[in-house]
Structure 1
Amino acid sequence: MSTPCILVLGTGGTIAGSAGSATSGGYSAGGLPLETMLAPLAALGLDAALKGQEIARIGSQDIGFAEWQALHAACADAMNDPAITGIIITHGTDTAEETGFLLDFTLPTTKPVVLVGAMRPADAVGTDGMRNFANAVKVASDPQAAGRGVMLVMGDAVLAARDARKAATAAIDAFRSFPRGALARVTPARLDWFGPPHRAGEGARYPFPESLPRVAILTAGAGMDEQPVEALLDIGAKGIVLAGMGQGNAPGVVIAALARAAARGVPVVRATRVDEGLVDRNVEVDDDRHGFVAARALGPAKARVLLMVLAANGITDAGAVQAAFDAG
């Protein structure tokens, strides 16, 4: 069997971060060049050839359309390159779920695409970056990894990008999977899938947009009024995601203002600020009457990404948007 050839796309993040001290609490994300980060991996004896390409060297809080566009283009080229068997993206953990989700529905599933990060910088005591990366190589090198969509590898778990979410600020096992569990468990020595590829042969669900419209997240809070909704419309928001209380609720004056926005053709998606749970249609809020969309299992960050792509592709009708959010 030939040695797998893995394209490694670097964007920065904690996995490429440096604190300057093994015990420091602070650090600079994305400070290490990709080639510097990859150099020690040769000593691990990984059964793969790694080809590096640096996209950015930033903390993931600063990632945006330009980096997403470059990542998508590099992934698309690799999908068409017979010499490349898999793709790894090194990425900060703060927005890994957004990048992974965006790529998940704008790329085909023909080759594995794996995001990997770290919760501790490269020079910290007990850094997790090296192990996470070795695990990502194990996943990206496995022929059974194709057909599963974009994945995130952290903490010895393989998570589907659609389900992965960061649930802790600093814990080494910061990521959770909802509503489905992990796709596999992985160590540098072993990979155990929990089921067959569930998206084998799928093409991209949506074309990658030429630009992304302004879609805002509005977080509901007790005692708030309708003025934040009006301010978002005044700055040209083309969609609004409500990070609502409970099952996507908000004070009555806010719901009324959002209903007026929906009537003007601005899609409104109800998600929840709660850490975990589904937002169903017509629970507490009359979606049918107000023209709202229920986010279902997607949290506010992913809901915003999906709504941006839908709006960029001219999909703004509430029924069509709801169908996209219902798709598993």
Structure 2
Amino acid sequence: MIHFHHAPLQKQYVEVSTIEKKVALFKVYAGMEADLLLSAIDSGYNGVVLEGLGQGNVPPAVVTGIQALLDHQIPVVLVSRCFNGIAQGVYGYEGGGKMLEDMGVIYAPGISGQKARLKLLIGLNQVHSPIEVAHFF
């Protein structure tokens, strides 16, 4: 008997000739502040992947950093840092997945932070606007 916890992932083939963009990967932790995310802006990163807590939640102090990234047109992709975890917009409190989804954070369900980083990196090198990268997820 086979049990599926989520739908099979969609495959998308993209030709990559060069990688010119920069994407940061941050593991979210209890007590995290926004300063690490703000450093991605100062360092010229084009995208950020966050490995969120549980179903994709972050500490409330991180929300201002996420909003700053989005205000700078830097896409933020969210995955769960839990083994086989699935990030989704469930909780609506400050830093909860539902709030982040409403802000414009992109979910990458069923893949690791490393894979999400590569998808975002390739996606950013394929599109003209950071907003267009959401369809890669």
Q: TM-score, normalised by structure 1?
A: 0.35
Larger of the two Rg values belongs to structure: 1
d(CA) in 2 for partners of 1:316 and 1:310? Answer: 9
Measured in 2, the distance between the counterparts of 1:289 and 1:179 equals 22
Residue 130 (structure 2) aligns with: 316
Report the 3-state secondary structure (helix = DSSP H, G, I; strand = E; otherwise coil) of the residue aligned with 1:208: coil
Unaligned runs of 5+ in 2: none
2:32 to 214, 224, 232: 224
Runs of 4+ that moved beyond 6 A? none
Q: Deviations over 1:175-198 (max 9, x none)?
A: xxx8679xxxxxxxxxxxxxxxxx
The reply on whether 1:290 has 2:103 as its aligned counterpart is yes
Distance across 2 between alignment mates of 1:306 and 1:205:
11
> Which has the larger share of strand?
1
Q: 2:68 corresponds to which residue?
A: 260
**Hey, what's the Cα distance between the residues in 2 that align with 1:273 and 1:288?**
17
TM-score in terms of structure 2 length: 0.79
Cα pair distance change 1:213/1:227, threshold 3 Å: same
Query: Structure 1 residues 225 and 235, CA, compared in 2 at 3 Å: closer, same or farther?
Result: same
**Contact in 2 for aligned 1:241/1:270 (Cα 8 Å):** yes
Question: Aligned match of 1:307 in 109, 112, 120?
Answer: 120
Query: Matches of 2:101 and 2:80 in 1, distance apart?
Result: 18
Equivalences for 1:8-157 in 2 at 5 Å?
A: none
Q: Residue 85 of structure 2 aligns to which amino acid in structure 1?
A: G
Greater CA deviation, 209-218 or 297-306? 209-218
Counterpart Cα distance in 1 of 2:32 and 2:19: 32
Which residue matches 1:274? 82
Q: CA deviation at 1:215?
A: 0.3
Deviation by residue 1:260-319 (Cα, 9 ceiling, x = unmatched): 2112100000111111122124543223431110111111000000000111112521xx
The aligned runs of 1:240-255 (5 Å cut-off) are: 240-255=48-63
**2:114 counterpart SS class:** helix
In structure 2, what is the Cα distance between the partners aligned to 1:215 and 1:280? Answer: 21
Higher relative contact order (CA 8 A, sep 6+): 2
Secondary structure of 2:130 counterpart: coil
